Amino acid sequence: MIDIKLIRENRKLVKENIKKKFQDEKLGLVDEVYEYDKSYRECKMKVDELRSKRNDLSASIGSLMRDGKKDEAEKIKLEVGNINNEIAECEEKEERLSKEIKDRMMVIPNIIDASVPIGKDDSENVEVEKFGEPFVPDYEIPYHADICESFKGLDKVSSGKTSGNGFYYLVGDIARLHEATLAYARDFMISKGFTYCVPPFMIHSDVVTGVMSFPEMEAMMYKIEGEDLYLIGTSEHSMIGRFKGEIIDEEKLPIAMTSYSPCFRKEVGAHGIEERGIYRVHQFEKQEMIVLCKPEEAMDWYNKMWKYTVEFFRSMDISVRTLECCSGDLADLKVKSCDIEAWSPRQKKYYEVGSCSTLGDAQARRMGIRMKTDKGNVFVNTLNNTVIASPRSLIAILEQHYQADGSVKIPKVLQPYMGGKEKLIPTKYYKDINHLFIWHGRNICTARNPKCVDCPIKEYCKSFKKVA
């Protein structure tokens, strides 16, 4: 939500911003707010004048009664009563005008940064920079669901029975790899000085409307029947809600947090091959960055945050790029945003794995989050950024580290979270491995006089070290 002073003082700027976002249907709202606000302020001024007059008249009643001027006092009492009725009517009008103003201000988009490229939708987003080589191996990379199934790691048949489309069971090493990425993301952000949090996974409706626009809410949120509660679509929602109505001392800013949560989304319009896999789902897990800061520090934090995500993915040898979101692709509360996209060697294109946004004071204004300064209270700025959203990050690992033999190399930084495991081996090889070990025992690692020098796996053998 923008500052109403902008509409009072610079309606042209607000309208130009709406046009940049290709939301011409909202242009009329600016003039409507202007007129309602004018009437509201006139009404408020009138109420103040009436109250002052009432107070003066009320003060005179006592003197008149003491002087024995009862009839005159009764006339003034009647006049005070009429003023009270007029005040009540004006206050009712104030409340009605305030609601009309708020309803319109809630859907007028935030002022975008001057650096945001102008475009109608995500097809006009602009590539900024690539990090890592967008390689294509000389062997075929299967669809990610098929890779998961080769490890007996994905069960969507059972989840279809329990929950319907858009849900999944992750099993075995695939489930473990999924959790390893989240644990590593947590520790990565803690190492950057962010405070780790686990927030509530359900929030009240006033928090929902405080942190996101109505179209986003309608398309994303699941409501709990019979309760004023919604399942969160990202931990940003409840993390910003944590500070609702608070006045934060200036010296306590910035507040940098990293939060884990499951996320629940309707994903309206999801269809096609990706429904068979785990790319577009109703439930996933996420590690998020959230920052509350002074307005003048917001852009520095924005650049710092998206760079953290790039660094995180590159530490797993995942090739990514940054994509500047154009004006038409920005949600109404956002000032500036970029997507982080991972390379898909199977599809030979990039796909979104995260998004970094600065929202100015839009969320803070809706939620009443201020900072206390020597010059008075001002609204803070809020930012959010995805560290990792799994299973999309899981897909990136499976595709970019897939080997010609069907195995998947585990990035070194994840190996400690996988019990030291370096590679995932398809289950189809388990029988072959057993047979090979039997052959190895008969021909190399014999009970008497083992051929340790010729053993291809001697570096893993404690007995070899003793012999040597």
Does 40 share its domain with 145? no
Task: Give the pLDDT score at 392.
Answer: 93
Does 101 share its domain with 177? no
Does 43 share its domain with 149? no
Cis peptide before 345 (omega within 30 of 0): no
Does 409 share its domain with 384? yes
Distances in Å between the alpha carbon of 37 and those of 98, 107, 237? 8, 16, 30
Task: Give the pLDDT score at 62.
Answer: 73
* Boundary residue ending a domain (77, 105, 133): 105
220-225: Cβ within 8 A, 24+ apart:
220/265, 220/266, 221/265, 221/266, 222/264, 222/265, 222/266
Q: Residue 78 maps to which CATH number? A: 1.10.287.40
Query: What's the total number of domains in the chain?
Result: 3
- Other C-beta atoms lying within 10 Å of the C-beta of residue 34: 16
* CA–CA gap between residue 382 and residue 334 (Å, rounded): 10
- 264 lies in some domain: yes
* Boundary residue ending a domain (47, 78, 105): 105
Task: Give the pLDDT score at 276.
Answer: 72
**HEC-encoded secondary structure of 152-172:** CCEEHHHHHHHCCCCCCEECH
Does 297 share its domain with 216? yes
Full residue range of the structural domain in which residue 99 is found: 4-105
- 330 lies in some domain: yes
- Element at 65 (helix H, strand E): helix 27-66
- 84 lies in some domain: yes
315: phi then psi, degrees, rounded to nearest 5: -65, -20
CA 51 to chain centre: 47
Task: Give the pLDDT score at 307.
Answer: 98
Does 16 share its domain with 91? yes
Q: Which residues pair with 392 in a beta bridge?
A: none
* CA–CA gap between residue 341 and residue 214 (Å, rounded): 26
Does 376 share its domain with 448? no
- 447 lies in some domain: yes
User: What 3-state class would DSSP assign to 129?
Assistant: strand
- 319 lies in some domain: yes
Does 301 share its domain with 393? yes
- 247 lies in some domain: yes
- Element at 293 (helix H, strand E): strand 283-293
Does 130 share its domain with 256? yes
User: What 3-state class would DSSP assign to 128?
Assistant: strand
- 354 lies in some domain: yes
Q: Which of 39, 13, 40 lies closest to 27, judged by CA? A: 13
Residues whose CB falls within 8 Å of the CB of residue 91, separated by 6 or more in sequence, listed in order:
47
Distance from the first to the final alpha carbon of the chain: 73
Q: Residue 267 maps to which CATH number? A: 3.30.930.10
pLDDT in tens, the chain (468 residues): 899 999 999 999 999 999 999 999 999 999 999 999 999 999 999 988 888 888 888 878 777 777 778 778 878 888 888 888 888 998 899 999 999 999 999 999 999 999 999 999 999 999 999 999 999 999 999 999 999 999 999 999 999 999 988 899 999 999 999 999 999 999 999 999 999 999 999 999 999 999 987 777 777 889 999 999 999 999 999 999 999 999 999 999 999 999 999 999 987 555 554 557 888 899 999 999 999 999 999 999 999 999 999 999 999 999 999 999 999 999 999 999 999 999 999 999 999 999 999 999 999 999 999 999 988 999 999 999 999 998 999 999 999 999 999 999 999 999 999 999 999 988 776 666 666 777 788 888 888 888 888 888 887 787 776 655
Does 228 share its domain with 179? yes
pTM of the model: 0.85
Does 126 share its domain with 237? yes
- 87 lies in some domain: yes
Does 354 share its domain with 433? no
With tokens 């009240």, the residue in question is 204
CB 359 within 8 A of CB 383: yes
Task: Give the pLDDT score at 466.
Answer: 66
* Boundary residue ending a domain (70, 105, 140): 105
- CB burial class (10 A; 0-12, 13-18, 19+) of residue 121? exposed
CB 306 within 8 A of CB 385: yes
